[in-house]
Structure 1
Amino acid sequence: MYQPGGSFSEAMDEMGNVESLQFDFDVIRAATADFSDANKLGRGGFGPVYKGKLSNGQEIAVKRLSKNSGQGDLEFKNEVVLVAKLQHRNLVRLLGFCLEGNERLLVYEFVTNRSLDHHIFDPKKSANLDWESRYKIIKGIARGLLYLHEDSRLRIIHRDLKAANVLLDIEMNPKISDFGMARMCVLDQTEGNTNRIVGTYGYMAPEYAMLGQFSIKSDVFSFGVLMLEIVSGQKITSFREGENREYLLSYAWKNWREGTAANLIDLTLRSGPLSEMIRCIHIGLLCVQANVADRLDMATVVLMLNSNSIALPLPTQPASFMQNGFPLTTSMKLDTDCKPVSQYEVSITELDPR
């Protein structure tokens, strides 16, 4: 069994034969009708994504990676295998890869209902997403994140959790995707530093955006933002109250402090269980606290979401990394014991099933 403090090579040795996850290029080419435009689902920063069907009838999503990279084949294979070993019902499953000449393909399970942002931020589609569905999505994301933080072989810090990186299957179960920004750490490590800030404005914890310090609590911050977006049906970066544009976290805090938290709830949800929605706002605020130590961990979040009898502490003012309209900056340190899962941005975000 892989022990805390063990090397990545030891973990890889236990994980088995890399070649068992390698697909033949001709198989993938046939499955995607030679990467036809009709099968093209979308395009990310690192290449197009295609829908395919294997000879056994299994639907897949294939990401055709950019050919310009200095990463070696063995390193690419090993990092893909690590991601492929992350198996949880609330994570998008990487089935394998393909290497032939300059071709580098990533093969994923196909997820039917696109990403959460296509549903939650579309006025017509969000009206069909009732509270029961949203609550199921919140709890599923929480379980997936808990697995990454505590139950996977290596502690995974996602670093780019957002609505666009949560895919929904045919039953609207959430699956966290896009591990291109992720960092994997030895099991007894909970934080690290980086000189390259990657992520999405609004979802990034301030200590990460300003100092390059990331931890499992950085992911907790992003999850708190995502919870508030799901409850409100509005984006963190373009939240509006009437004609006014306001930062979602500051609006949520202002209403919480004034006892009017229900103002944050999506109008289409006003007929749902108000106490449960407000409890989610409360948990969301506890996830976005300015002091890292004051934020919940995902194990506690999962418990709170599954038991209304657990008392919640009072939140304080949420974190913000803006001052006078400008991001704060400071010196940053290089990574040491954490490394990227893949510099290829292992991702199938923004899929558009046909």
Structure 2
Amino acid sequence: MGIEVVVEGLTKSFGSQMVWHDVSLTLPAGRISVLLGPSGTGKTVFLKSVIGLVRPERGRVMVDGVDMVNSPDRDVFRARKLFGVMFQDGALFGSMNLYDNIAFPLREHTRRSERDIRGIVTDQMERVGLGGAGDKLPGEISGGMRKRAGLARALVLDPQIILCDEPDSGLDPVRTSFLSQLLVDLNAQIDATMLIVTHNLDIASTVPDHVGMLYRGELVGFGPREQLFGSRDPAVRQFLSGRVTGPIGMSEEKDAADLAGEAAEGAVLPPPPELPPLLQPSAGLPPRRASETAADPRLATATTATLPVVHLPAGAAGEPS
């Protein structure tokens, strides 16, 4: 059973560079959430802050009564065992075969016998579609298989919270679809709380119950996916449509002159993207928890950035990039 993660007023900087400030949200227990945002907005830093690998300057992250930001290290280490993390590159040891990679957390953090470990590892490898591949080295398999091996390793300690850092990176659309279905199936089977950091709009529109977006150091809303995909915020609309016209530029945001030029050309706000049906678990699995259609006040505590209103030309601006 997944557990709730409560983030309150989180602020992080590196020297004089502010990454994000006053970020507040609640990851609801047993649900899938997605965090979107342009490159360089600190999504991976946020993920590391949730698990206590990065310490923000202010705020707190409450997990099972432990503050992952301010509690003593021994308490943070204990609470970290509630997490399973699927790293962007799989983070596999190149000299170990897949079986030993996946068994590593069990050997390091438990006193289970090798017989028990073999049973657990075999079950998780079969769950992610890697049955019979235990003898292969990471360099001998595809990127998609490495991703699934990383996911199997994240599952062996029976986590109640699963964090996925850009699980789709380097995958083609077909493998991304398979991975999306796998994540939904896992959520239905083990009921874990899940947070996925991604740029992929197919994942963001079909996999999660809740979605948020980081931009200009702030969280631009967080709540049921219908809420973000129906937003009138110009940065959100631009990001979801993949267009070049709008406040987001190559260096995260455009300067005032560029924005004024676009406004002078009579740009209009693009329509909200069509929201596809929520991806359902495979046949024979339990149904996923119903997606909320109305915002729960506890789930919509994020600050909303005051952004310049930028409009796109009607019927213009090309296809999504």
Higher relative contact order (CA 8 A, sep 6+): 2
Judge same fold: TM > 0.5, yes or no.
no
The normalised TM-score by structure 1 is 0.25
Query: Per residue, is there more helix in 1 or in 2?
Result: 1
